[in-house]
Structure 1
Amino acid sequence: MLTVRLFCAAGMSTSLLVNKMIEEANKEGKEVDIVAYPVNELDRRLDGVDVALLGPQVGYMKKKAQKIAGDAGVP
C-alpha cells in the first residue's frame, strides 16, 4: 500500500482532489491510503508516509516543506 499525505490550506477543494486520486488509483488496481491535512501539521503527520504532496494553494511553502519532509526521510 502506498501512503500519501496531501498538505494544503485545509480547503474544500483538497478533499475533492483526494477523492479523485483514490478513484484513479483504484482504477489502476493500486492500494493507496491518501489523506489531506493542513500544512501546519506537516511535521506531525509524516510517520509511515511514502510521499508528501503540497496543494497548489500552499506552493509558496515548498522549500520549507521539502526540508521538513526530507529530514523525516519522506520525498
Structure 2
Amino acid sequence: MAEKTIMLVCSAGMSTSLLVTKMQKAAEEKGLDFDIFATAASDANGPIEERHPDILMLGPQVKYLEQDFQERVDVPVVSINMQDYGMMNGEKVLEQAIETIG
C-alpha cells in the first residue's frame, strides 16, 4: 500500500493526467511510494470514498471549488500553483503536496 495518496482534481480529469505522470516520476526519483491520480471535479466523490486521499490538489480551473471541498473532506485541500500547473512541473507540485501533508 502506498505511503500517501494524492488526488488531483480538474474540470475533466484530462489536463492533469500529464501532471500525474510527471509527479509519479518525481516521486520514484525520490524513492517515495505515492499513489497519485487525477479525476474530474464532477466525479470526485467516488475516489474520495474509495481511495481515501491524504490531500486534494485542485487545478487552477477548479480553484473556485476549494471551499466546497474543504467543507466535505477532512484532509488538506490546496490549489496547485498556476505557473507550476501550466509548466506541468510535477516535481514542484509534488513538493507542494509533501510540504502540506508532511
Same fold, TM exceeding 0.5?
A: yes
2:31 is the alignment partner of 1:34: no
2:67 is the alignment partner of 1:63: yes
What is the root-mean-square deviation in Å for CA atoms of aligned residues? Answer: 1.4
Asked if the contact 1:42–1:65 (Cα under 8 Å) also holds between the matched residues in 2, the reply is no
Output the TM-score relative to the length of structure 2.
0.63
Q: Map 1:45-64 onto structure 2 (within 5 A).
A: 45-47=47-49, 48-64=52-68
Q: Structure 1 residue 36: deviation in Å?
A: 0.5
Q: Structure 1 residue 13: deviation in Å?
A: 2.5
Q: What's 1:23 paired with?
A: 25
Counterpart among 20, 24, 45 of residue 43 in structure 1: 45
Task: Classify 1:14/1:6 alpha carbon distance in 2 versus 1 (closer, same or farther; 3 Å).
Answer: same
Give, in whole Å, the separation in 2 of the partners of 1:31 and 1:49.
Answer: 14
Asked if the contact 2:12–2:39 (Cα under 8 Å) also holds between the matched residues in 1, the reply is yes
What amino acid does structure 2 have at the position aligned with 1:63? Answer: Q
Output the TM-score relative to the length of structure 1.
0.82
- Total equivalences in the alignment: 72
Give, in whole Å, the separation in 2 of the partners of 1:68 and 1:40.
Answer: 14
Which runs of no fewer than 5 residues in structure 1 stay unpaired? none
Which runs of no fewer than 5 residues in structure 2 stay unpaired? 77-102
